[in-house]
Structure 1
Amino acid sequence: MNKKASSPVFIYDEEEIAYKFNEDHPFNQDRLTMTVDLLRKAGALPDRAIRKPRPATDNELLRVHSQAYIDAVKGLSCPVPEERFVQAASRFGLDTDDTPYFAGMHDITAEVVGGSITAVDLVMSGAAPHALHLGGGLHHALQSKGAGFCVYNDASAAIAHAQETYGAKVLYVDTDVHHGDGVQWTFYADPLVCTLSIHETGKFLFPGTGAVNERGEGDAFGTNINIPVEPYTEDDSWLECFSEVLTATIARFQPDIIISQHGCDAHALDPLAHVHCSMRVYKAMPELIHALAHQWCAGRWVALGGGGYDIWRVVPRAWSLLWLVMSEQAHLDQLEAQPQLALPQTWLDAWQSKSPVHLPATWLDPVEDWAPIPRREAIAEKNRHTKELAMMYLK
């Protein structure tokens, strides 16, 4: 590191909410606005912590995307695209219900990519120990195809930037309930990038990949690690799998930086998946990443956003907890002493009238009131077996 790091930074620009497909799409960027508002009302996000993203250049996009794909995205970004681009949209995955093209998508997605690259620059240069970019985490986009609500893959571009600019070995950790396929396939044969994804098994959920036996190829065999957990997995089993595999992985790989993706759709209330975790996971998981970053790579940690489709009850709390951990806020001590610590009343007052559901009043969930999951032990045992398979080449 070139100079002593100061405080963690929060990459954010209100313009990022323009990454929006249509009014009915589940990828709703109100979740980002609500998260920033919650952190500000909690007194946890001072203006001095915020840095604006800048657009990624075409050369930065070309590290992970083809020229033909970038040209197609640009062409389809026009208010009225030329017919040749409209005809080609299906070839590039940009005409589906999940990932439909929209006006201005190149410029706004290039800014999302640039935000994640900015986070890498701040951390790798030593200007900040950690950086969070919640607008990022678009992990499904492939070299020449958009998919799963993702146009450009900012996570892959950030990893490629860390490699090319700083010569860094990168550990990528993906906690979204959907497999981090775009990042996996981009670096599947690269021994200097290790990808670890914990997700609901692809037997039941998009994108259908992420099996334990997808381990990398050539010299990179063993540097691709998947933990596909069962539907209705709960906190203890999820954390057991994640903690043991990540701890073994980082000790084996010894990266220069951790880049993590924080989709929060493994929560029980998320409408698009079947994992049954509570907010406890979204505090414990970044706490482990934070500790391991300091143990193994001088604290260098970049965190990105990702999925999360209960935008009212889940995403603002989960993403706020990530920042509370990253920036070591006093709220964490209060949560240890008072697990049912209340959310700021001013935030609840601001958003309850807009919400179609009753907002939770506390940072963590009252899991003792939740109905128990049938087959809990059988699910945990199946996940334990999967965990052992995932760790086969880590011992």
Structure 2
Amino acid sequence: MSGRAQLMWDQAVTGYDFGRDHPMDPVRLGLTRKLVEAFELDRHMDVVAAQPAGDSTLRLVHREDYIAAVKAASADPRAADQSYGLGTLDDPAFAGMHEVSALIAGQSVGAAEAVWRGSALHAVNFAGGLHHAMPAGASGFCIYNDAALAIARLLELGAERVAYVDVDVHHGDGVQAAFWEDPRVLTISLHEHPATLFPQTGWPQETGAAEGSAVNVALPAGTGDEGWLRAFHAVVPELLADFRPQVLVTQHGADTHFEDPLAHLAVSLDAQRAVQVSCHDLAHEYADGRWIALGGGGYAVVEVVPRSWTHLVAIAAGRPIEPTTTIPESWRQEVYARTRQLGPARMTDGRWPASWADWEDGYDPADRLDQAVLATRKAVFPLRGLLA
């Protein structure tokens, strides 16, 4: 195994564009790539453009009729079939939609192949993490589920245990659905409570047909750094220690942030970075370092997303950026040129170091966060032979 990290990148992924005024503005991808470049991280990892996922690869997760529907809508957006979730407010059809969606999927599949075969220890596709797409339908700004496709490719290559950890503010419903009956895949999602946020799934009682293979932590709206980190560390490390994955796949949607316009958690950039570091460390502790890190949601496209995912790339590259670091002026000029907004000045929200209380240090039955964590532990841990 080379130990060198890969950044999966093809400029054409910025064509994943649902149109003006849609929250998923592709400028977030371009600005992230430019910030990675400004910190010269690409000099310390291999930058690789993988081929688009072909039909046989897409069929590892998606139904053939759905792929055909995406192709038809891609060729003529007016022909979008809403019964497949296409041509809706969330997922408007656009010309070339199939091609760019397959390209993003191809980057995640390429990351999986590189990590499994040993040409890279870590691989990052921050354009990926499109975790809502279902086998037979688009959902939540997601056309093809690159995260599920990467996992399916790992299984095809011979992996027997793959863990997926999703810290996007929204439930990783599409990945959970893809592997609901497969005990080879452990899916763990920490997200805002389904009572207050799309997709209204991800209850603690959703534990998989292969019981204990799906794990859901439904966090109360308003959860901030300490609670978010407490929940992560109360659930994820113990489950990974039990499951012993051969590969760890993580999804790092930046929409948990307190400035994100589409959700209601209150997490800082500094806590997001702390979880990224933990995912890296957990990959080394339990998966021989094999780590595939994906992007996801995130709609504060200037202030939050580029900084969060640049931290992710830096950690994967073995060149972590100190949170107090000043952002290069060249990038801030790029931000203004593209958006007419002023970019942030530092790689922190001023909440570093992020801290939390361990689960063993005082469960409070009156605390809503602790109630949420306990609900998950009670639902899942006994199924895996662990103490709740």
TM-score by length of structure 1 reads 0.90
Distance 1:63 1:380, change over 3 A: farther
Aligned position for 2:216: 226
Q: Percent identity?
A: 37
Aligned position for 2:376: 390
Aligned position for 2:350: 366
Distance 1:356 1:199, change over 3 A: farther
State the Cα distance separating 1:379 from its structure 2 match. 11
Q: Residue 272 in 1 paired to residue 262 in 2?
A: yes
Deviation by residue 1:2-40 (Cα, 9 ceiling, x = unmatched): xx2231000000000011111221111111110111111
Is residue 217–residue 373 contact of structure 2 (8 Å, CA) maintained in 1?
A: yes
Aligned ranges 1:21-36 → 2 under 5 Å: 21-36=18-33
Aligned ranges 1:268-307 → 2 under 5 Å: 268-307=258-297
Partner Cα separation in structure 2 for residue 98 and residue 380 of structure 1: 37
Aligned position for 2:355: none
The alignment partner of 1:280 has SS state of helix
Is residue 193–residue 221 contact of structure 2 (8 Å, CA) maintained in 1?
A: yes
Deviation by residue 1:95-124 (Cα, 9 ceiling, x = unmatched): 210001111111111111111100000000
Superposition RMSD in Å? 1.9
Aligned position for 1:255: 245
The alignment partner of 2:191 has SS state of strand
**Structure 2 unaligned residues grouped into runs of 5+:** 353-362
Is residue 241–residue 383 contact of structure 1 (8 Å, CA) maintained in 2?
A: yes
State the Cα distance separating 1:80 from its structure 2 match. 6.1
Is residue 120–residue 302 contact of structure 1 (8 Å, CA) maintained in 2?
A: yes
1:149 to 141, 147, 150: 141
Distance 1:96 1:327, change over 3 A: same
State the Cα distance separating 1:341 from its structure 2 match. 2.3
The alignment partner of 2:75 has SS state of coil
Aligned position for 2:235: 245
Q: Residue 135 in 1 paired to residue 127 in 2?
A: yes
Q: Residue 105 in 1 paired to residue 97 in 2?
A: yes
Aligned position for 2:196: 204
1:180 to 172, 187, 190: 172
Partner Cα separation in structure 1 for residue 247 and residue 234 of structure 2: 19
State the Cα distance separating 1:385 from its structure 2 match. 1.5
TM-score by length of structure 2 reads 0.92
**Structure 1 unaligned residues grouped into runs of 5+:** 369-376
Deviation by residue 1:238-277 (Cα, 9 ceiling, x = unmatched): 0010122110110111111011111100000000001001
2:64 to 64, 67, 72: 67
Q: Residue 44 in 1 paired to residue 44 in 2?
A: no
Partner Cα separation in structure 2 for residue 200 and residue 389 of structure 1: 14
Deviation by residue 1:59-103 (Cα, 9 ceiling, x = unmatched): 11111111110111111111465xxx44xx111010210001111
Is residue 178–residue 199 contact of structure 1 (8 Å, CA) maintained in 2?
A: yes
Distance 1:48 1:284, change over 3 A: closer
Partner Cα separation in structure 2 for residue 48 and residue 167 of structure 1: 25
Dislocated runs of 4+, deviation >4 Å? 377-380
State the Cα distance separating 1:306 from its structure 2 match. 0.5
Could you tell me which amino acid in structure 1 is paired with residue 271 of structure 2? V
Is residue 9–residue 47 contact of structure 2 (8 Å, CA) maintained in 1?
A: yes
State the Cα distance separating 1:340 from its structure 2 match. 2.8
